[in-house]
Amino acid sequence: MQRIRLTNTVFEGLNNVYVLDGTADGADADELVLVDAGVALPAVREQLASGLADLGHDLADVDRVLLTHWHADHAGLAGAIQAASGATIHAHEADAPLVAGDEDSLLEEQRLQREKFREWGMPEETRAELVEFLNDHGDLGGEPCDVESFVDGDAFEVNDRTLEAVHLPGHAAGLTAFHDAAGDEAFVGDVILPKYTPNVGGADVRVEDPLGRYVESLLDLIDLDPGTAWPGHRDRIDDPAGRAATILRHHVERTENVVDALADLGPSTPWEISAALFGDLHGIHVLHGPGEAYAHLDHLAGAGVVERDGSRYALVDADPDVASLFPDPGIDRVVQWTGE
């Protein structure tokens, strides 16, 4: 396995594309398979082509692409790769229509976003600015392509290894890790990251109970317990279960912060809680901040700690035991990181 690192202009941290070619040195491959594809920018396509050339390959040589999820920084170049090589593109059934560029699915995702912006209490002017930002970056999703969908538990035979699809939604509806049990490693996309905590709530507004689903996915990854995780951004993670436990505990702390903000402000919208937690936001974070606040408020509402009236949430329990609202990850080790 080899890694190609790709830049992008919107998201934090270099993107990773993993090259599985059946050999240790990148020569005389039986089959050339990529995990993820990078964002659809001309400069990034050149980086990918250059990285493949360094390994003795060309874009036209790619046989298959396994996508961890539909976000543009992971799937954007899938269509260009398929156009160059005829490669088969694989995505989880929840994300496959978006990767394929299905017009109805794209329009529905946009409709849900606009609906959520209003529900979150986002000011009208800010909503208009965010919609403009998203429209301006719409081409990052790249060319439409034919996509073969898969489901949790499907197995991919890739040269001398078997990769099992492990569905781990939360950050995205179709987010999937590819687990090599024999190699004791997994390609995890944005399930866990070595520096940041993956956004929930804003990154994919199609996910219902986004924080609850993500917590379940973290527990599933802890149970899977691969020795090494290869994330979608930055460097490998040598203790994936420990990192997942750290992120779970982070969400307990963030939920406590949301409760404190509600106690200080009184009934509030996700937009107002986001401002209390994160301050002024710009670019894509105008989507991610209130989305994150919403995910935590929604989790609290489901537990009966807060109640919702329109766009506002109010505390019902003035002194909740927040930790009891989350499962115990079952391991003591905590992996430290810088930033969030």
Minimal CA–CA distance to 20: which of 76, 66, 80?
A: 66
Can you say whether the dihedral through the CA atoms of 129, 11, 92, 52 is positive or negative? positive
| Separation in Å, CA 332 to CA 192, 224, 245 | 18, 16, 8
Q: Are 77 and 40 in contact (CB under 8 A)?
A: yes
Tens digits of pLDDT across the chain (340 residues): 999 999 987 666 799 999 998 764 444 558 999 999 999 999 999 999 999 999 999 999 999 999 999 999 999 999 999 999 999 999 999 999 999 999 999 999 999 999 999 999 999 999 999 999 999 888 999 999 999 999 999 999 999 899 999 999 999 999 999 999 999 999 999 999 998 899 999 999 999 999 999 999 999 999 999 999 999 999 999 999 999 999 999 999 999 999 999 999 999 999 999 999 999 998 899 999 999 999 999 999 999 999 999 999 999 998 999 999 999 888 776 565 444 3
Transcribe 168-213 into DSSP letters.
--SSSTT-EEEEETTTTEEEEETSS-SSSPPP-SSS-TT-SSHHHH
Six token digits for residue 24? 């240790």
Rounded CA-CA distance 11/231 in Å is: 14
